[in-house]
Every structure is written in structure tokens, then in C-alpha cells.
Structure 1
Amino acid sequence: MLHKIINLTVRDVRFPTSLEQHGSDAMHTDPDYSAAYVVLDTDSGLKGFGLTFTLGRGTEIVVCAVNALAGLVVGKSLQEIVSDFRMFYRLLTSDGQMRWLGPEKGVIHLATAAVLNAVWDLWARAEDKPLWKLLVDMDPRQIVSCIDFRYISDALTEDEALDILVKAQEGRQQREDQMLKEGYPAYTTSCAWLGYSDQQLKQLCTDALKSGWTKFKVKVGADLEDDIRRCRLIRQMIGPNNTLMIDANQRWDVAEAISWVSKLAEVKPLWIEEPTSPDDILGHATISKALAPLGIGVATGEQCHNRVMFKQLLQASALQFVQIDSCRLGSVNENLAVLLMAHKFGVPVCPHAGGVGLCELVQHLILFDYICVSANLSNRMCEYVDHLHEHFTSPVVIQDAHYMPPKDPGYSCEMLESSVKRHQYPEGDVWKLHQKK
């Protein structure tokens, strides 16, 4: 069946997470986890679901951008798209007029991710497989055919990508079986949002340790003395042998980042995440070089616009941990390019997943990375936040601090219709009630 796309709808869905300071950090003090939520209807009745993540205000702008892209999608069949997915990706990202709004960055690229996520969900549903399994079962040449190598061939050629995938075929089934049995290692960010009190932090750490968590991330960057106190507290809570990461969410200038993080070295963080502007590749390189003697790596990527920026970060040795994002980059297609580049440069991938639906999405990508690209779990883990999963039809499953591979067909980002209606902005019941207060 061709599954011709006959309609695209997009809705502004927002959750009032700011009320309890969930997601708060040094730069984003009052986030309302939100999504531009896309549904593709087909003539066969099969639907595809996708989203891109936002923090509340401005989601309506992404919705407008999705609607602007709709004309490039509606009328095409799934078969037509996936038979030359590279060209369809380029169609969406290189429209002769709309590319001026990017190209391949900002609001228009967030919208592209939402649309493409829905297309990938539709494809996986049509094949009756979870997205990770759809990817794992693909021939390496088919994977490569989904990637746009334009602007990155100086760092990764199509032949090199194919060679990586072919070599990883050995042991693939054993790694898939391992993931099905054990799951993919995760770390938690949910214990130490910047707006949480010490009492909350202690209780959440205690509960997480009892549940088997061994890797923790704490938000920093607002006040140095408070950071030292909170990091000491969480290190004391989790003990010397568990893993601690710190995240500044782009708070500092380069020299300030080096000075500030050096003063936090006593708590032995594995990495400092987003120490400065996400666009400052050379700044990240300077920070990486300065912190290396302290044994602290640099992690970034959640606001890295596209594969070209990741290419430069890797070429400049500017990061020690690659943080892909399922909605910042151009969906699966562009994330595949980054996974392969990271492997070539020998840098581990630890995805960003702090947001509504991001855990559901990115688990598929990191499973594919381990099974079919990196074949390596050293210094690798996927972020987990314990918020809003109850609004999805196929929420993530965490066992013993590991992501268990999804079993339901699709990309795991279909929301419960009742949740969408209640949280649609501004007409949903949740927001009507909120506006009355």
C-alpha cells in the first residue's frame, strides 16, 4: 500500500511544568515543556505522529513554520518519500524560498524535525516495527541513502559511512539481544533542577539511588557558592563511586567557564555540559583544552543546529561527548549523519532528552547507535527525565536505570488524544483554568 499523505495537522501543546520548577536551569528559569505536535493522515487510514520540543512561549511560531512546510508533504506517498529519502530531506530543508529562514537551523529546522519525525513514525508503523528495529533491520546502503552528505563530505564520505555500517554488522544480533535483555544505560537529570530546594534534592537522590540510579546530572551556573554547596551535597548523597555531571545551559563566557568549572573540580564531574554559547565552536575547544588536565570533558549538542556544526565541533576537538537531540537536528536523517561522524572521530554519543517526548524519541536513535554503529557502551549513557511520560500511548520503560527497547510500532511519540485536548494552548482546559488564576 502506498499510504498517500492526504492531510497534516499541527497543534500547540503545552504543559505547565514551570509551576513546580521542573526543567529549571540557569538560563531557562520557568520552562513550560511544550511541543508542536504533528499528525499525518493517509488514504489508507494509517497515521504518523511527530513533534518538536519547545519551552512554552514561541511554540505558536513553530506551528506556523510546520504549516508552511505542509505543502511539501501533503500529496506525497510514503513509498515516494522513502524510495529517495535523501532528496525528500533536501526538499524540506532547501526549498528555494523558505531556506532563507535557516538554512537548516532555527525555527524552520525545528519544524522540519517535527514533520520528518512524523514521516519516520509513519514508515515504522507501515512496517509494523518500532523505529529502532526498522533502522537495525535496514541494509547499510539503505541507511546511507537516507543521509544528506552535503557540507560534511570533508569529514565523512558516503563510502566511509557505508564502511562503518558494514563493519558493525559483525556481532549485531548479539548486541540487539543484549539490549532486549538489559536495556541501554541511562542517567537522571530529574533530581537536581536548579529551582529545587535542598530538601527536594536530597529526597529525590535518595529515591533514585534506591531505584538503581548511579549516574546523576546537576544544574549549575547561577551562583558559584551555591553551585559548590549543591554539588558537594549531591556528591555526598551519591557517594564517590557514582557518576556526576554538571550542566550550565550556556551561562558563561569562555574564560568564566574555565574558572567556574575549575572551582567545581573537587566533586569530580565527568563533564560540563553547554558551558558557553552553543554556536561558539572555538570557545568550546578552548574550554576543552583547559579542563582536560582536570579530567573534565565538555558535552554539548542539544542546541547544535545541524550536522555541519557537529562536524566542526568534532574537527576542532571541541567536545568529548556528543549530545544529539531528536528535535533540534533534522530528525532521524540528520542524526544518523552525526552518529556516524561521532564514531569516525571516536567521540561517545550521550543523547539529550530533557523535554516532553524527547526520551520517547531518542531511545530509538541510541539503540541503533550501539547495535549498528558504535558497538560500544564505554562512557555512554542516555539522559532520562521523569516528567510527562503518562501523556504518551507508548511511554518509555526504564528498568534498573536502563532504557528498555520499545516494542510498539512507530517512533513512540503519539500522545493520548485526551492529553492533547486538555493541554492544547490556549483553548485546552488546563490553560483555561490557569488563566483564571
Structure 2
Amino acid sequence: MLESKIINLTVRDVRFPTSLEQHGSDAMHTDPDYSVAYVVLETDSDAALKGYGLTFTVGRGTEIVVCAVKALSTFVVGKNLKEIVSDFRGFYRLLSSDGQMRWIGPEKGVIQLAIAAILNAVWDLWARVEGKPLWKLLVDMDPAKLVSCIDFRYITDALTEQEALEEQMLKDGYPAYTTSCAWLGYSDQQLTQLCSDALAQGWTKFKVKVGADLQDDIRRCSLIRKMIGPNNTLMIDANQRWDVNEAITWVTKLAEFRPLWIEEPTSPDDILGHASISKALAPLGIGVATGEQCHNRVMFKQFLQASALQFVQIDSCRVGSVNENLAIILMAAKFNVPVCPHAGGVGLCELVQHLILFDYISVSASLNNRMCEYVDHLHEHFISPTIIRNAHYMPPKDPGYSCEMLEESVQKHLYPQGEVWRAIEQQGKQ
């Protein structure tokens, strides 16, 4: 089955109107419509053998990512799977370093999102051919083979291929934290009810969105801290809202609520700014977490070298798929910084669970300060949805990368012609 040739790539713009109920709202993204550019790879060997991939967006702009996927599809269609995975590093470079397409990246923005969607589908196809969930494919892989999937260009001053090979390449359930209780647009009544429900379900780690209004943040953090008690974990997330000095001042005033970290306190590109914030907040026992909008492995390298973060937040769709996330996970291990991925959105929990299991089983072998974000939205649209038990991710068992969506859901949420969006348009006319 590795000889299967990819004969077609389709990509569709699938959007969910989450802004109608303020799901996902934060200080910077006030009206997100959780969306994906959804890729399907068809093969010549079996009509049922397909690879599914996606990249996440928050609504407008998804059509641009779709265009980029179509532009890159020529590098994929016509290749057989064995040809790709036998030189995965070379294939990654082919996608990321085309002499003309590279100009509108390189390895960042829309191009990187499109590469992630395509490569997520390739990894899904490979895992399906092997009959394994993706995390198991990675864990079982010979270390030399796994490392050969990584492009070490630009990061050898932080991690060499030989060092990666020397990393020790093991369990059940991975700790999760919830962001679903405290979106910025939620009322106090909604926040209180959701937090109470989460506590009853066994959740012990909670994240609160902050950054729009200090007094409101103080009130909301006080409310959450009183509800969850002194021993449960609280994190706060500003979603890039502040300048550097403003971040330090604002978080200092929230220190009484003992947050474990402040997430994305400033521009996601400002490495030295994050370093200054990290240094200033260290005496308060508050770490800095970032990475969900970090473009590539090179930026993560610099964040780690500059001690600019204390928690690495990889994203399954922001960088170049599994290949690049493997590099980031291995660098984080070398710098002894825990990986606590960003998730939520559409499909991000489904995908990233495979990466955290690989990190724990084969790289870190520690759960100290390690956890993965969980948002309880839109899982019902997937063939193999994330399973949470006692506030832990349970290892997926189905072959693949858990990317495949229900075709009925895809059709209903196609933008702009799907049933859901036509109904919204009609309501707007009334």
C-alpha cells in the first residue's frame, strides 16, 4: 500500500458560525468563526484509501489558504506514498522551498498553513496504510527514520541530527486543561455554570482569557479562583493584546490569583519582548507560554535560546505539520522546557493529541508541568473525535491522524454555499 499513488487532492472551505455564541472570543479575536481548509488525498490503489488533513483558521481568510493549497497541490499529485516517506525531509523542503512560492512565505503565514494541511493529510494517509494511529506510528518508528523526517536547516546551532538521535525514544491518559469555561465574551452566569460543571467532571486546570479590561480581569480571575479553590491550577491568556511593559504591569496586578503562566502576552514575533516579560515575572512565579502563532522551528529555536518562554505551545497546523513539530519537540526537550500544546478550534484537539503522546512516550517521559489545552467544541463533526476521561486525553485507537470529518458536516458547513451559511444569509436579509 506504500506504493499507492496520490491521484487527486481536493480542498474545501469549511466554517462553523461560532461567533454567534461568542465561542472562542478573546481580547484580540472578538468574533471567531472556527474554520478549516479541509484536504482529502485520493489514491489509485483503493477508493477507500484516502488521506485527510486540515489547517485551522477563524473565518475570513480561509479562502486564501484554500488557494495556497491548490497552488501547492502540483507537488503532491502524481507522487506515490513510498516516494514521499522514503525522503520525507526532501519532500518537506520541496513544499517549503519552491523558488517562486517561497517568496510569499518563506515558511510562515498562509503558505505554512497550506503546507500543514497537505502534510497532515500525508501523515494521515501513511498512518492509515500502516494500520496505526499516528502517535503509534511515531512511537514505533526507528529513531533514525523519525529524525530523517525533520528538516534541520537553520536549527543546527540549537539541535543537531546526531543529538536528536541520542534522545531516548513511553502511557495512558495525558493531562488536559480546559479553556471552555472562560471565553472573554461569556457572561458571569455562563462562566460560573461552566466552571461548576467542569469541576464536577474532574477538571483541575483552567485557563481564563484576559487583556481587554484590567478591572474586569481582576473580577473574573477572582471569581474563577474562588470557584476552583487554592489547589487547582489557573492560567491566563492575553492573545497578544499588550505591549511589553504593559504586559508586565498588567500581569503583576493579576499575580494575587497565582496564575501558572501568562500566554501570548505580546506580539507573537517579539522574542526579546517575551524574554523581558519572562525575566520580570519570574520572581512572581509566573511563567510565559507562547507558540500557537509562532511561524516555524527557527522562531521556536530563538525563543528557547533567549529563555523567552517557560512553556512551549506547539500547534498542529501553524507550523509545517508533524515534520516541523518533531523538531520543536526535540529542541524543547534539549532546553528542558515542557511542551503544552495549543488546541481547540476545529480539529486541533484531534490532531495534537497524537503529538503529546509521542512527546511523553518517546521524548520527555515526564508529566511535570505538562498538559494540553482542551476546548469542548465541534468534536461531533469528526469520525474519530477526541475522547476525554477524567480531564485526560485518552489515546486514539483508530488508524490515521484523526483528521477525517463527517461528510454531512462538511457539506452543511461549506462556505458560502452550505446549508448553515445559506440560512444565516437568509436571516440577515429578513
Q: Tell me the TM-score normalized by structure 2.
A: 0.98
Match of 2:335 among 345, 358, 362: 345
Aligned length, in residue pairs? 424
Q: What are the ranges of 5 or more consecutive residues in structure 2 without an aligned counterpart?
A: none
Deviation digits for residues 105-154 of structure 1, max 9, x if unmatched? 00010000000000000000000000000000001001100000000001
Offset of 1:233 from its aligned partner?
A: 0.2
What's the counterpart of residue 94 of structure 2? 91
User: Offset of 1:44 from its aligned partner?
Assistant: 1.1
Check the 8 A contact 2:124/2:401 in 1, yes or no. yes
Alpha-carbon distance in structure 2 between the residues aligned to 1:34 and 1:3: 30
What whole-Å deviation, never above 9, does each CA across 1:239-283 have from its counterpart, x for those lacking one?
000000000000000000000000000000000000000000000
SS state at 1:378 partner: coil
The alignment status of 1:360 with 2:350, answered yes or no, reads yes
Aligned to 2:6: 5
Matches within 5 A, 1:67-106: 67-106=70-109
Q: CA deviation at 1:354?
A: 2.5
Show the 5 A alignment for 1:171-320.
Answer: 175=170, 178-179=171-172, 183-320=173-310
- Choose from 327, 333, 354 the match for 2:323: 333
- 2 CA distance for matches of 1:266 and 1:400? 28
The equivalent residue for 1:374 is: 364
Structure 1 equivalent of residue 393 of structure 2: 403
Partner Cα separation in structure 1 for residue 94 and residue 343 of structure 2: 28
Q: Which residue of 2 aligns with 1:146?
A: 149
Q: Deviations over 1:200-242 (max 9, x none)?
A: 0100000000000000000000000000000000000100000
CA offset digits 1:80-100 (Å, max 9, x no partner): 000000000000000011000
Distance (Å, rounded) in 1 between the aligned partners of 2:152 and 2:223: 46
Corresponding letter in the other structure for 2:68? A
Counterpart in the other structure of 1:413: 403
- CA displacement 1:389-416 (0-9 Å, x = unmatched): 0000000000000000000000001000
2:126 alignment partner AA: W
Kindly indicate whether residue 326 of structure 2 is the aligned counterpart of residue 323 of structure 1: no
When the two chains are superposed, the root-mean-square deviation of aligned CA atoms in Å is 0.5
For residue 68 of structure 2, what is the aligned residue in structure 1? Answer: 65
Q: Residues 145-164 of structure 1: CA distance to partner in whole angstroms, max 9, x if unpaired?
A: 00000000010000000001
- Report the counterpart of residue 38 of structure 1 in structure 2: 39
Distance 1:98 1:225 in 2: 46
Equivalent in 112, 115, 119 of residue 115 of structure 2: 112
The alpha carbon displacement at 1:29 in A equals 0.2
Partner SS state of residue 40, structure 2? strand
CA–CA distance in structure 1, aligned partners of residues 96 and 80 of structure 2: 19
C-alpha separation in 2, matches of 1:119 and 1:365? 15
Per the alignment, residue 413 of structure 2 pairs with 423
Q: Separation in 1 of the partners of 2:334 and 2:400?
A: 29
C-alpha separation between the residues in 1 aligned to 2:295 and 2:61? 17
In the alignment, what sits opposite 1:172?
A: none
Distance across 2 between alignment mates of 1:53 and 1:210: 30
Aligned equivalents of 1:298, 1:384: Cα separation in 2: 19
Give, in angstroms, the shift of residue 191 of structure 1.
0.2
CA displacement at 1:62 relative to structure 2: 0.2
The SS at the match of 2:83 is helix
Q: Equivalent residue of 2:395, what SS?
A: coil
CA distance in structure 1 between the aligned counterparts of 2:382 and 2:112, rounded to whole angstroms: 24
Match among 157, 160, 172 for residue 157 of structure 1? 160
Which residue of 136, 139, 143 corresponds with 1:136? 139
CA distance in 1, matches of 2:285, 2:50: 48
| C-alpha distance in 2 between matches for 1:110 and 1:147 | 17
Alpha-carbon distance between aligned partners in 2 of 1:206 and 1:225, rounded to the nearest angstrom: 23
Instruction: Write the distance in 1 (CA, Å) between the matches of 2:128 and 2:118.
Output: 15
CA contact (8 A) 2:54 2:117 kept: yes
- Structure 1 Cα separation of the partners of residues 34 and 214 of structure 2: 27
Query: Structure 1 stretches (4+) deviating beyond 2 angstroms?
Result: none
8 Å contact kept, 2:344–2:376? no
SS at match of 2:208: strand
TM-score normalised by structure 1 residue count: 0.97
Q: Match for 1:9: what amino acid?
A: T
The one-letter amino acid of 1:343's match is A
Aligned equivalents of 2:328 and 2:45: distance in 1? 34
User: Which position in structure 1 is the counterpart of 2:127?
Assistant: 124
In structure 1, C-alpha distance between the alignment counterparts of 2:65 and 2:87, rounded to whole Å: 26
